[in-house]
Amino acid sequence: MTRSWLDPHDGGGPGPGQTPVRTGISLNGQASATGSPLGLHRVLEPVGVLPQAAWRLDPKPQIWPDEVRVAVTRLNLDAASFRQLREAHDGNPDKIRASVLEIVRTRGKMQNPVTGSGGMLTGTVDEVGPESPLGLAPGDKIATLVSLSLTPLVITDSLASWDGKSEQVPCAGHAILFGRSIAAKLPDDLPAGLALAVMDVCGAPALTHRVVAKCQSPEPVVAIIGAAGKSGSLSAAAARQAGAARVIGVVPHEAEARLLREAAAPGAGPGQQTQAGPAATGRPGVVDAIVIADARNPVAVSRAIDSAGGPADVTVVCVDVPGCEGGAILATAQGGTVIFFSMATSFTAAALGAEGVASDVTMLVGNGYVPGHAELALDLIRAQPAVRALFQRRLDEHSSGIQGE
């Protein structure tokens, strides 16, 4: 039987000055010396919950033997989180900066108290504990692939370099990686800002790929709601690679439709649409058809997808606003699958929404972790110039001038 997460790993007894970690049923006899691989020893409030669920973490820089400390260079806030902050403060950069600083100061991590979401970070490995299983070394430039919502964090520069206008947050500080964590070294062949933006959303294309590849339909139709965004465009690319016969991209307005069209392979002009062809090569652009509809309007969305070749066998929701569950469900064929990646997804709206329209669809909570997800996503970027162009354009729009650290 598969080895449990909770199997103890090696280590000595409690060290001097270290408080034994009490978790009820003892996780392992040496939790206080080696650190729980899940980071339980950093949970201050309430005691006994996992770091992601905790209100407050201990972000002290001194590391446990299985931890890694990272000198942070950039945070990439989750889209839903940044949207919430921007809307709550009417886009005022000073207030947004102050809000982020206050969250990190009081919680010891960057977890938006409204959305519950976090984001990712890049930085340079500073110190590696002797028992860290992550295979990192001081000096490695990395991106974390576990959420900021569970990562102990201290910001030391008051976010002075952040303009408060995008989710990319240059900063100085430190973060802690637990034993059971995931980090990827930044690739040498791609700019750091691009690699981070890709890794931030790499779970979506990886899971989309897996679902589409397993799809029972011989010619799967895949709808991507939010196809011009970072996770949406990568998921569209993944769907094609996995064998989708037709990929329909849903965007909220003409500006995003234009982004998608203009990201087509070099030589293709704006407005050029092509028919779906065999999988992978020979299909320019990011999607096979673009439709414009408000994702929060279920009737409009499903009608739009129908008109472009739907209903879909697989629908992927990559938008960061609430209220998109109904449309995704209505747009999906009986027996199909809806994958929710948006952190604005409401569980009850999805569950009740499907039941309410007697829709027999499989609904997945988009798991941000699929083994090999970073590699898959980076390879898609390398292989698909249209997706890379789209990503780069989004980064350029929000650029604060700090690239390639």
Select the residue interacting with its own copies from 40, 260, 295, 317 (CB under 8 A): 40
Q: In this complex, which beta carbon is closest to its own copies, that of residue 346 or of residue 399?
A: 346
Give the footprint of its own copies on residues 224-283 (CB under 8 A): none
Q: Are 68 and 128 in contact (CB under 8 A)?
A: yes
- Under the binding rule (CB under 8 A), the answer on residue 73 touching its own copies is no
Binding mask 321-350 for its own copies (x = CB under 8 A): --x--x---x--xxx----xx-x-xxxxxx
Shortest reach from residue 26's CB to its own copies, in Å:
9
Nearest Cα to Cα of residue 177 among 141, 118, 136: 136
Give the footprint of its own copies on residues 145-204 (CB under 8 A): 145-147, 149-150, 180-182, 203
Q: Are 334 and 359 in contact (CB under 8 A)?
A: yes
SS (H, E, C) 190-233: CCHHHHHHHHHCCHHHHHHHHHHHCCCCCCCEEEEECCCCHHHH
Instruction: Say how far residue 186 (Cα) sits from the centre of its chain.
Output: 16
Q: In this complex, which beta carbon is closest to its own copies, that of residue 40 or of residue 237?
A: 40
| C-alpha to C-alpha distances, 242 to 70, 222, 279, nearest whole angstrom | 35, 11, 8
Give the footprint of its own copies on residues 8-27 (CB under 8 A): 23-25, 27
Instruction: Say how far residue 30 (Cα) sits from the centre of its chain.
Output: 33
- Under the binding rule (CB under 8 A), the answer on residue 29 touching its own copies is no
- Under the binding rule (CB under 8 A), the answer on residue 144 touching its own copies is no
Shortest reach from residue 196's CB to its own copies, in Å:
16
Q: How far apart are the first and last CA of the chain?
A: 44
Instruction: Give start and end residues of each alpha helix (H) in 89-133.
Output: 93-107
Shortest reach from residue 24's CB to its own copies, in Å:
5
Binding mask 91-120 for its own copies (x = CB under 8 A): ------------------------xxxx--
Give the footprint of its own copies on residues 356-395 (CB under 8 A): 356-371
